[in-house]
Amino acid sequence: MATFNLNINGESHQLDVDPTTPMLWVLRDHMKLVGTKYGCGIAQCGACTVHVGDNAVRSCQLPVSAVGEQEITTIEGLSEHGDHPVQKAWLETDVYQCGYCQAGQIMTASALLKQNPSPTDAEIENAMQGNICRCGTYTRIKKAVKLAANGES
Amino acid sequence: MTLVKTQIGRRAFIKNTSLAGGGLVLGFSFLNACKPKVAEAVAVEIEMPKEWFEINGYLKIGDNGIVTIMSPNPEIGQNVRTSMPMILADELEIDWKDVLVEQAPLNTNLYSWQVAGGSRSIMNSWQNLRMAGATARQMLKEAAANAWQVPVGEIKAVAGVLSHEASGNSAGYGEMASAASQIEVPEEVELKDRSEFSIIGTSRKNVDGKKIVTGQPLFGIDVQREGMLIASLAHPPAFGMKLKSFDAEEAKQMPGIRDVFSVKLFDDDFKKMAFHHTAFNELVAVVGETTWQVMQAKKAVKVEWEASPDTVVGMSLFGNEMKVNHPSGMENSDTHNAKLKELSARKGKVARRDGNPEAAFANAAKVIERSYSCPFLAHNTMEPMNFFANVTEDHAELLGPTQTPEWMEPAVSERLGLPLEKVDIQMTRQGGGFGRRLYGHFMVEAAVISQQMKAPVKLVYSREDDMSQGMYRPAYYATYRAALDEDNNLVAFHVKAGGVPESPLFANRFPAGAIDHYLAEGYTIDSNITTGAFRAPRSNFIAGAEQSFLDEVAEEMGKDPIDFRLELLKRAEENPVGDPETNDYEAARYAGVLELVREKTNWGQNDAGVHRGVSAYFCHNSYVAQVLDMVMENGKPTVQKVTSAIDCGIVVNPDAATNMAEGGIVDGIGHAMYSALTFKDGAPEQHNFDRYRLIRHKEAPKEIETHFVDNGIDPTGMGEPPFPPIMGALANALYRATGRRHYHQPFISDKPPLVG
Ligand code: FES
Ligand code: FES
């Protein structure tokens, strides 16, 4: 056990936890922020994607001890009222089926758009390749990312 | 206008209690312990009434006119939590924006078929939901008629407002809700005419959309409770093994670990339903404070496994008793494949025989024979199996993702030694189902662990646990033969299909009934690897095989693949072979979707460089035809577009149904192309997404277009039917794009390697 000061969704939190614990479980079990999802635990599915600074990171492979001062943003903190352009585009497109993968998809997409505000189809596919959607909503995801990029939502 | 008797659920409907307590109703109170900041910000969009009045088991109306509709069925991503309430709301005649939806708990008195299976949710509940809505509308009208002292027949109900033209009276539903809740349930109610629908047939957004995009707790794995412990289970590493002993001394000393013990699910004499089955009846449970601690401790438990003997498991499936053989031994995919091939060369069990197929084949001018196969698949729902249980001495609370709460309840009750009425099952939104959550052993496991711990427990499977636990899509093999005469006419057809452990054969489906000489045979190979329903069971392989074979036969005959199918369907329609009742498809509806897809794709006029495959299939009472356009990009076959024509009767929520069709298509392309679960010495060789390949963004079609046949028929299946045929369209397009036919799934490893 060790004490960590974490900066999550703009608030700082002190936590006593085993240093090897992945951020995924810190968020879900300790912080009760369950929007970040478990899908594989080995960085293969993207369900656990959060932002570390501006980057999309798989939180299942990020030990709490490696976070340091960096700012973590989860789906719950992406916007205050659920009105981030990517969230709005998702709502407009009604992307989801089961919905389980979508927090991860949204976090990857919003990190992409921050770095590349008008990505090509190929750039969207490349960025999103690590996020599995078992329900197969890929075409809608791409549509929603483009909608968010064009600022129409 | 149709009159229907309200007898279904009538007893329940008589319960006219008015419920006090404004603001209580936003569902998911069970998830409230875990409420991120955003939750409050987005939850308050509809103003809560001060008082609710329960009109019947399906709905309550607030004094401000807001209506809460209970959605009875498990939501696994098929969108029933939106589309089922839409059906009721339309008959109730309420504005959709005034509707709140709440997940109903399991209640076999109030609801029937609380199951997500067989693509039957809408089909089975269509009438009940309409009746529940229409009954409430009628009771509101009667309340208004009483209040205004006018004949009830003169009252109009439109979008939540009751009015009486002659007297000039009008009132919102909220004003009449209290009086309506006291009205006697009518014997008979009027259902709307289809032309009067204002919600059914219009696209409405997913009612959970906002919660999904803001990451609010919705799923079983999200459940949090004061004092809740986390449990994980160790099961044998291979099928054909069972628990011998374990040593948990070290694991028990690890931080946060509360206990490690073995769990036995069912006694040998327990009368199982098929949905209770599991390969591993005895497991080791590790219980602790957090998921990570429990996952670490599980690795430290030293477990010894031993070979299990030959077993015969008795079980019932919808009242039919059956026996499932699980022979001892550690099985291998190579051996399965060799055995399947060997049996395919022998006589199978004849399921249908028309004319004299043997003679027709003997006299044929040409015989075409092809074999097809597919591997086992894991369902891989994105949310792994999990369940919350809080079992006390006289009560069991169970909460989580299950497709079959109704069928699991007796098993839990018996195993815990609690009467049925002491077992409460509630459903969360579910991160995918695909058939996996029909088999609810994990619910029983959670309950048993909670009972032992005397504490609330959430059981969580790791991805590895989930993928290696069984209930897989079986491995199948099918051999097709077609006999042509000198004039190149198709005179005889033969299908022989087998599998481990079941045959994928549907002997009475197309093209049965369209060919004079027809033979269908099946065979099976026993296995100790457990299998179960996987989205469109059996169809999910046989459709692709059959539709690929028909494509090849059409080519051999020099016919256009759509014309060829339509000719066969014409024969089946006009002059069916055999008793038409035994052919379990309607030839005209089948032809209808083929004609529609032909028209929508301008079939035969595609651009150069676009390679097209067509396929059509009937299952779950619905018909789907698909055209897949493939292009070669940098030497790789790429799916450019898929166009579907679907006949599933009335479409309740067109955009959501389109989403389902898109999902089915991506699912089908993905599994046919990339996925396989193989076995070595009884153990799955893939345990996670590093080795188990699922389709990803780049491999998905660039565009998907979906068309529905508008025929006004009551709704039929939608969740499964778009899935099976796409595999045939894919194989047929691949052939045109690459010049090579693909027979063995996953196509990517059907030698020589095709891509990647
Ligand atoms: S759970 Fe982290 S990538 Fe799958
Ligand atoms: S919506 Fe179900 S996994 Fe993506």
Q: Which amino acid is at B8?
A: I
Ligand 1: centre distance to CA B64 (Å): 45
Q: Sketch the domain layout of chain A as residue ranges.
A: 2-77, 85-149
Q: Are the folds of A2-77 and A85-149 the same? A: no
Q: Sketch the domain layout of chain B as residue ranges.
A: 2-213, 220-312+385-460, 347-377+472-749
Q: What is the pLDDT confidence band of residue B122, given thresholds at 50, 70 and 90?
A: very high
Q: Considering only the beta carbons, identify the residue of B214, B219, B255 that sits closest to A82.
A: B214
Task: Enter the DSSP assignment of B199.
Answer: S
- The ipTM is 0.98
B665–A contact, CB cutoff 8 A: yes
Q: Considering only the beta carbons, identify the residue of B210, B380, B660 that sits closest to A91.
A: B210
Ligand 2: centre distance to CA A37 (Å): 11
Third-level CATH fold of B2-213? Aldehyde Oxidoreductase; domain 4 (3.30.365)
Q: Are the folds of B2-213 and B347-377+472-749 the same? A: yes
pLDDT of residue B31 exceeding 60, the answer is no
Third-level CATH fold of A85-149? DNA polymerase; domain 1 (1.10.150)
* Three-state secondary structure call for residue B452: helix
Name the residue with higher pLDDT: B282 or B121.
B282
The candidate with the shortest Cα–Cα distance to B372, out of B294, B284, B477, is B477
Mean pLDDT, residues B479-492 taken together: 97
What pLDDT, on the 0 to 100 scale, is given for residue B268? Answer: 85
Q: What is the dihedral of CA A129, A133, A134, A140, to 10 degrees?
A: -110
pLDDT of residue B135 exceeding 50, the answer is yes
Provide the pairing of β-strand B683-684 with B679-680. antiparallel
Q: What is the pLDDT confidence band of residue B269, given thresholds at 50, 70 and 90?
A: confident
- How far apart (Å, rounded) are the C-alpha atoms in residues B481 and B493? 6
pLDDT of residue B576 exceeding 80, the answer is yes
pTM of the entire predicted model: 0.95
Tell me if B350 CB under 6 Å of ligand 2. no
Q: Which ligand is nearest to the CA of B379?
A: 2
Q: What is the mean pLDDT of chain B?
A: 93
> For B134, what's the count of Cα atoms within 13 Å in the CB-facing half-sphere?
23
Interface of A with B in 5-34 (CB under 8 A): 9, 18, 20-22, 25, 28-30, 32-34
- How far apart (Å, rounded) are the C-alpha atoms in residues A3 and B86? 50
Q: What is the pLDDT confidence band of residue B42, given thresholds at 50, 70 and 90?
A: very low
Mean pLDDT, residues B467-490 taken together: 98
Q: What is the pLDDT confidence band of residue B548, given thresholds at 50, 70 and 90?
A: very high
pLDDT, tens digit, for every residue of B675-684? 999 999 999 9
Outline where DSSP puts E strands in B342-501. 349-354, 366-374, 386-391, 396-400, 423-427, 457-460, 475-484, 490-500
What pLDDT, on the 0 to 100 scale, is given for residue A151? Answer: 76
The alpha-carbon gap from B489 to the nearest alpha carbon of chain A, in Å, equals 40
A97–B contact, CB cutoff 8 A: yes
B703–A contact, CB cutoff 8 A: yes
Third-level CATH fold of A2-77? Ubiquitin-like (UB roll) (3.10.20)
- How far apart (Å, rounded) are the C-alpha atoms in residues B492 and B359? 9
A4–B contact, CB cutoff 8 A: no
The candidate with the shortest Cα–Cα distance to B106, out of B428, B560, B482, is B428
Task: Enter the DSSP assignment of B422.
Answer: G
Beta bridge partners of B118: none
The alpha-carbon gap from B17 to the nearest alpha carbon of chain A, in Å, equals 34
Radius of gyration (Cα) for chain B, nearest Å? 28
Mean pLDDT, residues B613-627 taken together: 97
pLDDT of residue B14 exceeding 80, the answer is no
Q: Considering only the beta carbons, identify the residue of A76, A81, A134 that sits closest to B694.
A: A134
Q: Which atom of ligand 1 is nearest to the CA of A48?
A: 2
The alpha-carbon gap from B664 to the nearest alpha carbon of chain A, in Å, equals 7
Question: Are B435 and B535 spatial neighbours (Cβ–Cβ below 8 Å)?
Answer: yes
Q: Which atom of ligand 2 is nearest to the CA of B381?
A: 3
Mean pLDDT, residues A116-144 taken together: 98
Q: What is the mean pLDDT of chain A?
A: 97
Q: How far apart are the first and last CA of chain A?
A: 45
Q: Which amino acid is at B264?
A: K
8 Å CB contact of A134 and B293: no
CATH number corresponding to B220-312+385-460 = 3.90.1170.50
Q: Which amino acid is at B256?
A: G
The candidate with the shortest Cα–Cα distance to B128, out of B56, B176, B54, is B56
Tell me if B432 CB under 6 Å of ligand 2. yes
- How far apart (Å, rounded) are the C-alpha atoms in residues B75 and B83? 10
The alpha-carbon gap from A11 to the nearest alpha carbon of chain B, in Å, equals 11
- How far apart (Å, rounded) are the C-alpha atoms in residues B523 and B689? 32
- All residues at 6 or more sequence positions from B7 whose CB lies less than 8 Å from its CB, including other chains: none
What pLDDT, on the 0 to 100 scale, is given for residue B755? Answer: 38
8 Å CB contact of B688 and A40: yes
Q: What is the dihedral of CA B486, B487, B492, B496, to 10 degrees?
A: 80
Which of left, alpha, beta for B473 (phi over 0: left; psi -120 to 50: alpha)?
beta
Q: Which ligand is nearest to the CA of A60?
A: 1
* Three-state secondary structure call for residue B405: helix
The alpha-carbon gap from B648 to the nearest alpha carbon of chain A, in Å, equals 19
What pLDDT, on the 0 to 100 scale, is given for residue B16? Answer: 32
Mean pLDDT, residues B117-126 taken together: 91
What pLDDT, on the 0 to 100 scale, is given for residue B751? Answer: 52
Q: Which two tokens stand for residue B498?
A: 């087998």
Q: Give percent above pLDDT 90 in chain B.
A: 88
- Residues of A with CB below 8 A from B660's CB? 97
- Residues of A with CB below 8 A from B434's CB? 134
Ligand 2: centre distance to CA B381 (Å): 8
pLDDT of residue B307 exceeding 90, the answer is yes
What pLDDT, on the 0 to 100 scale, is given for residue B13? Answer: 39
Provide the pairing of β-strand B18-20 with B51-56. antiparallel
pLDDT of residue B427 exceeding 90, the answer is yes
What sign results for the dihedral spanned by CA atoms B435, B439, B443, B445? negative
pLDDT of residue B10 exceeding 80, the answer is no
A69–B contact, CB cutoff 8 A: no
- How far apart (Å, rounded) are the C-alpha atoms in residues A60 and B291? 12
* Three-state secondary structure call for residue B720: coil
pLDDT of residue B752 exceeding 90, the answer is no
Q: Find the residues whose C-beta lies inside 6 A of ligand 1.
A: A 38-41, 43-48, 58, 60
- How far apart (Å, rounded) are the C-alpha atoms in residues B629 and B189? 49
To test the pocket of ligand 2, the residue of B75, B379, B382, B383 to mutate (highest count of ligand atoms within 8 Å of its CB) is B382
Mean pLDDT, residues B22-36 taken together: 32
pLDDT of residue B414 exceeding 60, the answer is yes
Residue B542: Cβ within 10 Å count: 27
Distance set, CA B718 to CA B81, B547, B622, B725 (Å)? 15, 20, 7, 13
> For A140, what's the count of Cα atoms within 13 Å in the CB-facing half-sphere?
27
Q: Please name the residue that has the structure tokens 């009721």.
A: B88
Q: Which atom of ligand 2 is nearest to the CA of A96?
A: 1
Tell me if A100 CB under 6 Å of ligand 2. yes
Residue B745: Cβ within 10 Å count: 27
Ligand 2: centre distance to CA B577 (Å): 43
What pLDDT, on the 0 to 100 scale, is given for residue B25? Answer: 27
Task: Give the closest residue (by CA) to ligand 2 atom 4.
Answer: A133
- How far apart (Å, rounded) are the C-alpha atoms in residues A134 and B689? 11
Question: Chain B residue closest to A77 (CA)?
Answer: B38
- How far apart (Å, rounded) are the C-alpha atoms in residues B703 and A132? 18
Q: Which residues of A71-104 are buried (b: 16+ CB within 10 A; e: fewer)?
A: bbbbbbbbbeebebbbbbbbbbbbbbbbbbbbbb
The alpha-carbon gap from A69 to the nearest alpha carbon of chain B, in Å, equals 22
Mean pLDDT, residues A8-35 taken together: 97
CATH number corresponding to B347-377+472-749 = 3.30.365.10
Q: Give percent above pLDDT 70 in chain B.
A: 93
Question: Alpha helices, DSSP H only, in B529-677?
Answer: 539-557, 561-574, 587-600, 654-674
pLDDT of residue B29 exceeding 50, the answer is no
Mean pLDDT, residues B290-299 taken together: 98
Question: Are B583 and B513 spatial neighbours (Cβ–Cβ below 8 Å)?
Answer: yes
Q: Point out the least confidently predicted range of B7-16, B313-322, B346-355, B660-669.
A: B7-16
B230–A contact, CB cutoff 8 A: yes
Name the residue with higher pLDDT: B252 or B11.
B252
Ligand 2: centre distance to CA B210 (Å): 15
Q: What is the pLDDT confidence band of residue B612, given thresholds at 50, 70 and 90?
A: very high
Mean pLDDT, residues B362-384 taken together: 98
